[in-house]
């Protein structure tokens, strides 16, 4: 099959994909709006432009990334030249979620194709309009045995997982991630699991509170909070609480107006099931801002919640919606008690002017990735690995790393025949002393 070995053909297919992606960009933007009123600005910023940039970057670098890479040989193998060869895994299954339904489906597909694999993509059933356009773009670009889209819900996903794959790339929730890992284990199929978690956002006493509020409001309420790396809860130094809440309120109003429901810049909750799940997390007496909901429109206002009880419902699992609990801390010990109560999160955000505090937080806690004095934007740098750790995921991708994710790295020693050192061969006789000396010297 030409795509396995022919890099020029893979590149040609990616260029064809780029043309089709550009041709259907407006259709994708419309579909995202129909699926859950994703604003066009957010659709372009976080979905379509990201896909285009990933494609361009991959097209530009595919030759370099797929070349065998020379590494320094070991003196033990003298004389040799050593290389890492990139080999496609073979048949790849990609299962995607609904929250960034275009980008989180397309980006892994682009890299899997670049690395020479066959791809079956299962997009989310919760964004049918977007999945439809996705399927059209893929069908227009690839022969079905090279890449195809299989649409459907949990049953289809389960059927696909029951088959044997050479690699599975899953983006979604922790519970389904465990199902995927179990299915992969049957055939010892390698997996990438891009999952979620409860992402802490810490605001200390040195933070620029106004700017922190602005950046947190943006990162939390973009996509109506339905972002895997959105700040899940705030931990603000107790003396800063009142002032910080005032800034948060101002920034929400500045972004979405006094009635966010009428703002063209605010998404809806994906479906009634998630709307109900989220509204059940709201305890009215704890709401300090927002709290309005409308079932008929799957609407929930950007909502601030004063929280002090780690046992309350909202502090149990990933929120994945526009509800922002605000907790306070007085000491590093408080921070530790709260953060370490949860599994390792996908991201952590630290707002501070205190460099030592920031370094200490990075060193002391395990999390996928994050930012100092910002939220979410680490996603946008292709030179940074993106992925979780522990329950928030296995593996990381983006940029050249994505190509590596979908390639087996084959180590090869190319031995020369002009010299054959006798040391390693039996009979060993009195070679032990010499080899010991030699190995010590190494």
Stretch that binds ligand NAD, among 59-67, 122-130, 202-210, 434-442 (CB under 6 A): 122-130
> What's the closest the beta carbon of residue 228 comes to ligand NAD, in angstroms?
3
Distance between CA atoms of residues 304 and 57, nearest Å: 39
Stretch that binds ligand NAD, among 118-126, 142-150, 201-209, 249-257 (CB under 6 A): 118-126
> What's the closest the beta carbon of residue 270 comes to ligand NAD, in angstroms?
8
Element of type H or E holding 341: none
> What's the closest the beta carbon of residue 397 comes to ligand NAD, in angstroms?
9
Binding ligand NAD by CB under 6 A: which of 179, 211, 372, 401? 179
Residue 195 engages ligand NAD in binding (rule: CB under 6 A)? yes
Binding ligand NAD by CB under 6 A: which of 321, 369, 370, 393? 393
Residue 302 engages ligand NAD in binding (rule: CB under 6 A)? no
Stretch that binds ligand NAD, among 60-68, 153-161, 301-309, 426-434 (CB under 6 A): 153-161
Binding ligand NAD by CB under 6 A: which of 111, 118, 131, 171? 171
Residue 224 engages ligand NAD in binding (rule: CB under 6 A)? no
10 Å Cβ neighbour count for 289?
17
Distance between CA atoms of residues 11 and 63, nearest Å: 8
Distance between start and end Cα atoms, the chain: 44
> What's the closest the beta carbon of residue 360 comes to ligand NAD, in angstroms?
26
Distances (CA, A) of 42 to 123, 218, 264: 20, 11, 11
- Written as six digits, the tokens of 191 are 């997996």
Binding ligand NAD by CB under 6 A: which of 46, 157, 223, 402? 157
Stretch that binds ligand NAD, among 2-10, 98-106, 203-211, 331-339 (CB under 6 A): 98-106
Residue with tokens 């004095």: 373
DSSP class of residue 284 equals G
Residue nearest to ligand NAD (CB): 196
| CB contact burial 297-328 (16+ within 10 A = b; e otherwise) | ebbbbbbbbbbeeeeeebbebbbbbbbbbbbb
- Selection from 134, 140, 157 nearest residue 32 by Cα: 134
Count residues binding ligand NAD (CB under 6 A): 28
Choosing from 47, 54, 194, 307, which is the catalytic residue? 194
DSSP class of residue 358 equals H
Stretch that binds ligand NAD, among 36-44, 54-62, 119-127, 252-260 (CB under 6 A): 119-127
Annotated catalytic, 42? no
H helix intervals, 143-189 = 154-162, 174-186
Binding ligand NAD by CB under 6 A: which of 68, 144, 153, 264? 153
Distances (CA, A) of 176 to 146, 329, 393: 26, 33, 11
Distances (CA, A) of 220 to 25, 201, 203: 26, 10, 14
Q: Which residues bind ligand NAD (CB under 6 A)?
A: 95-99, 104, 122, 124-125, 153-154, 157-158, 161, 171-173, 176, 179, 194-196, 228, 318, 320, 346, 388, 393
Q: Which residues are catalytic?
A: 194
């Amino acid at each position: 099959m030409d795509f396995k070995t022919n890099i020029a053909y893979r590149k040609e297919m990616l260029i064809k994909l780029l043309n089709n992606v550009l041709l259907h960009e407006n259709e994708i933007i419309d579909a995202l709006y129909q699926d859950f009123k994703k604003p066009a600005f957010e659709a372009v910023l976080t979905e379509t432009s990201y896909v285009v940039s990933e494609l361009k970057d991959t097209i530009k670098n595919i030759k370099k990334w797929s070349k065998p890479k020379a590494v320094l040989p070991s003196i033990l193998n003298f004389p040799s030249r050593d290389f890492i060869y990139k080999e496609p895994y073979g048949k790849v299954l990609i299962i995607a979620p609904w929250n960034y339904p275009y980008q989180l489906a397309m980006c892994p597909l682009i890299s899997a194709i670049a690395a020479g694999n066959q791809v079956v993509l299962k997009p989310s059933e919760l964004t049918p309009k977007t999945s439809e356009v996705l399927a059209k773009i893929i069908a227009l670009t690839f022969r079905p045995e090279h890449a195809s889209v299989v649409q459907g819900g949990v049953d289809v996903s389960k059927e696909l997982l029951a088959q044997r794959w050479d690699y599975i790339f899953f983006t979604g929730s922790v519970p389904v991630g465990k199902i995927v890992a179990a299915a992969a284990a049957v055939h010892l199929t390698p997996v990438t699991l891009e999952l979620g978690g409860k992402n802490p956002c810490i605001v200390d006493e040195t933070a620029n509170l106004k700017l922190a509020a602005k950046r947190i409001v943006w990162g939390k309420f973009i996509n109506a909070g339905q972002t895997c790396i959105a700040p899940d809860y705030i931990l603000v130094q107790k003396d800063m609480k009142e002032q910080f809440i005032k800034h948060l309120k101002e920034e929400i109003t500045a972004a979405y107006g006094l009635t966010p429901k009428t703002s063209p810049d605010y998404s809806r909750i994906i479906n009634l099931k998630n709307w109900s799940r989220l509204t059940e997390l709201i305890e009215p007496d704890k709401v300090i801002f927002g709290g309005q909901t409308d079932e008929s429109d799957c609407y929930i206002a950007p909502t601030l919640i004063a929280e002090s009880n780690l046992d309350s419902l909202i502090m149990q699992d990933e929120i994945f919606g526009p509800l922002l609990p605000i907790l306070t801390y007085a000491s590093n010990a408080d921070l530790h008690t709260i953060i370490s109560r949860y599994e390792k999160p996908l991201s952590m955000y630290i707002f501070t002017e205190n460099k030592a505090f920031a370094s200490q937080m990075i060193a002391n806690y395990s999390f996928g990735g994050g930012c100092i004095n910002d939220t979410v934007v680490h996603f946008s740098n292709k030179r940074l690995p993106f992925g979780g750790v522990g329950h928030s995921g296995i593996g990381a991708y983006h940029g050249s790393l994505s190509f590596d994710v979908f390639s087996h790295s084959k180590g090869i020693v190319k031995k020369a025949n002009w010299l054959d050192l006798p040391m390693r061969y039996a009979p060993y006789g009195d070679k032990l002393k010499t080899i010991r000396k030699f190995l010590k010297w190494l």
